[in-house]
């Protein structure tokens, strides 16, 4: 089975497993998310989606907005922490929750803060795009939540193959779009590839591994969820 066919099956899985009751509280997708409007309701967002979360203050609002598109994660333990990593952000289940095979897994989302990083730091990204990349990392948690310990370990093994890594990351992108953050993901991809000062190597990696802005827009245009914000 070639890569394109496998990706189609992955996307069909997202569509067919969509549960209206689970996602009933998800905000309506919009082209741009206005930080000023959401800032007025930050305390409400914190009450609804801040349980068992540790936020970095400068990114708290962005994380809360992204979390509002994933209501099933409202009580899941997630820590957002700074770390010198090789990409902008990265999501991992904690080793403790994997080894202990906890029924309620715990997660860490790393945010790169290295000044020597030749990619894109979250702090240098426009607000709408910040929500897009955060939403992508939260989609990883949605995927992990549906897997047992062996399944999570197998996800890690996918990163040993460039083809499987591409298939997986594009599946996560499609899940992000399905959850209503398609335009935010589009702005993230567009900023990285077309507007940032990231190195050629970083841009090539993003272009070859994740959905491109053109591909994201194509998915948006085919999804009825976005019919009022195209």
Reported as a single tens digit per residue, the pLDDT across 22-43 is 334 578 899 999 899 899 999 9
pLDDT of residue 80: 98
Taking the whole predicted model, whether its pTM rises above 0.85 is answered as yes
Is residue 206 within 8 Å of 192, Cβ to Cβ? yes
Nearest to 133 by CA among 110, 114, 113, 106: 110
pLDDT of residue 145: 92
Summary mean pLDDT of the chain: 89
> Could you give the C-alpha distances from 122 to 45, 73, 79, in angstroms and in order?
21, 22, 16
Average pLDDT for runs of 10 along the chain of length 230: 54 43 64 92 95 98 98 96 97 87 85 96 98 98 91 91 97 97 98 98 98 98 89
pLDDT of residue 173: 98
**Structural domain count of the chain:** 1
pLDDT of residue 5: 53
pLDDT of residue 19: 40
30-69: b (≥16 Cβ within 10 Å) or e: eeebeeeebeeeeeebbeebbeebebbeebbbbbbbbbbb
pLDDT of residue 138: 98
pLDDT tens by residue, 118-146: 999 999 999 999 999 999 999 999 999 98
Between strands 77-82 and 89-93, the pairing is: unpaired
- CB burial class (10 A; 0-12, 13-18, 19+) of residue 178? buried
What is the span of the domain harbouring residue 114? 3-226
Question: Token pair of 144, please?
Answer: 């992990």
pLDDT of residue 103: 67
CA angle, 152 as apex, 146 and 157 as ends, to 5°? 140
**In which residue are the tokens 């999501």 written?**
91
Q: CA 196 to CA 47: how far, in whole Å?
A: 35
> Could you give the C-alpha distances from 11 to 139, 192, 204, in angstroms and in order?
13, 24, 24
């Amino acid at each position: 089975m070639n890569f394109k066919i496998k990706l189609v099956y992955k996307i069909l899985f997202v569509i067919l497993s969509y549960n209206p009751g689970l996602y009933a509280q998800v905000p309506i997708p919009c082209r741009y998310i206005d930080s000023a409007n959401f800032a007025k309701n930050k305390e409400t967002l914190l009450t609804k989606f801040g349980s068992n979360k540790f936020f970095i203050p400068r990114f708290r609002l962005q994380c809360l907005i992204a979390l509002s598109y994933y209501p099933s994660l409202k009580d899941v333990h997630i820590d957002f922490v700074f770390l010198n990593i090789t990409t902008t952000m990265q999501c991992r289940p904690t080793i403790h929750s994997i080894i202990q095979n906890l029924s309620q897994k715990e997660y860490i989302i790393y945010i790169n803060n290295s000044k020597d990083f030749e990619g894109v730091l979250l702090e240098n990204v426009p607000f709408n795009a910040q929500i897009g990349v955060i939403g992508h990392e939260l989609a990883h948690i949605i995927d992990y939540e549906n897997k047992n310990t062996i399944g999570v370990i197998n996800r890690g093994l996918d990163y040993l193959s460039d083809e499987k890594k591409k298939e997986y990351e594009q599946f996560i992108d499609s899940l992000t779009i399905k959850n209503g953050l398609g335009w935010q993901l589009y702005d993230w991809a567009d900023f990285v590839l077309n507007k940032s000062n990231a190195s050629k190597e970083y841009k090539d990696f993003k272009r070859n591994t994740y959905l491109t802005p053109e591909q994201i827009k194509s998915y948006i245009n085919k999804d009825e969820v976005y019919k009022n914000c195209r």
